[in-house]
Amino acid sequence: MINFSGIIIEPEELIYFLKKRIKLKDFCQQIVQQKIISQATANNQIVVTTEEIQAEANRIRRQYRLEQASDTYAWLNDQLITPEDWEVGIREQLETAKLKEFLFATKVRDFFNQNQHLFEKALLYQIIVPYQSLAWEIFYQIEEEEMSFYNAAHLYDINYSRRIQCGYVGEVSRAELKPDFSSQIFDCQPNTVMTPLQSEEGYHIFLVEEFIPAELTDELYEKLLDQMFEQWLNAELNHLLFNQSNGDKSTD
């Protein structure tokens, strides 16, 4: 039972509300995933200390500017949770973070080292126009220095935002490009205007300003770590559901 500003909400009402919004399955899946994480944490003897929980609680308090204990209690009450609920939630978050590192920290670095070419980046500018003839006309005008690439982008690109930025796209990795584009872009020389390439969007003229070597930044590390963990968690969930389904059938 939940008391929401004096209005009593029964557990059955919560479940029925989730059913009506077609969200019950998602919530059940999240609960089962947490069970998988908790079991894997226990199996691998991963421990979260009281000091770590306190440090994370303090970080959250600073984030929400909860300077006094009374501020924290008021905030928890407003969230309809108790201090004990909050502590359990923090513990589970920290356990998940430690489990990710335990399972995949080395695999992330190995994957990056074996696939560095996927994470090389090019600092790109591009012009996209709807017609092949226009694309080649622009290309030749740039080649003959009758018009700069940036001015052409400002005048002709079909995308308003890119026109305003004179064709600027930014740092783009191989993985973010169409396969038939990436090979040609990364094979060209810096400060090269490439001949027009066609896609479903139109005709592209690329200018590669520079190439940026692959680097396992904190952001990329966390992204790869999350991807590997998510794949593992989904596989574990599917395996558990499959075994459960077969177990139910065997009892029929």
- Is the pLDDT reported for residue 243 higher than 90? no
pLDDT-based confidence at residue 249 (cuts at 50, 70, 90): low
Return the percentage of the chain with pLDDT > 70, whole number: 97
CA distances from 210 to 14, 91, 196 (A): 55, 45, 19
Any idea which residue has 């513990």 for tokens?
Answer: 91
Q: Please give the sequence-ordered ranges of beta strands (E in DSSP) within the chain, or none if there are none.
A: 2-4, 7-9, 121-129, 168-173, 192-193, 197-199, 202-212
- Is the pLDDT reported for residue 87 higher than 70? yes
pLDDT-based confidence at residue 3 (cuts at 50, 70, 90): confident
Length of the chain equals 252
| Architecture of the domain delimited by 116-212 | Roll (3.10)
Contacts of 205 (CB under 8 A, 6+ apart): 126, 127, 128, 129, 135, 138, 139, 142, 149, 152, 193, 194, 195, 196, 197
CB 195 within 8 A of CB 142: no
Burial of 144-160, coded b for 16+ CB within 10 Å and e otherwise, reads eeebebbebbbebbebe
What is the per-residue pLDDT across 152-170, written as a single tens digit (0 to 9) for each? 999 999 999 999 999 999 9
Domain limits of the chain?
2-90, 116-212
pLDDT at 5: 81
How confident is the prediction for the chain on average, in pLDDT? Answer: 93
What is the per-residue pLDDT across 40-54, written as a single tens digit (0 to 9) for each? 999 999 999 999 999
Over range 234-248, report the average pLDDT.
82
pLDDT at 250: 59
What is the per-residue pLDDT across 94-139, written as a single tens digit (0 to 9) for each? 999 999 999 999 999 999 999 998 899 999 999 999 999 999 999 9
Stated pTM of the model: 0.78
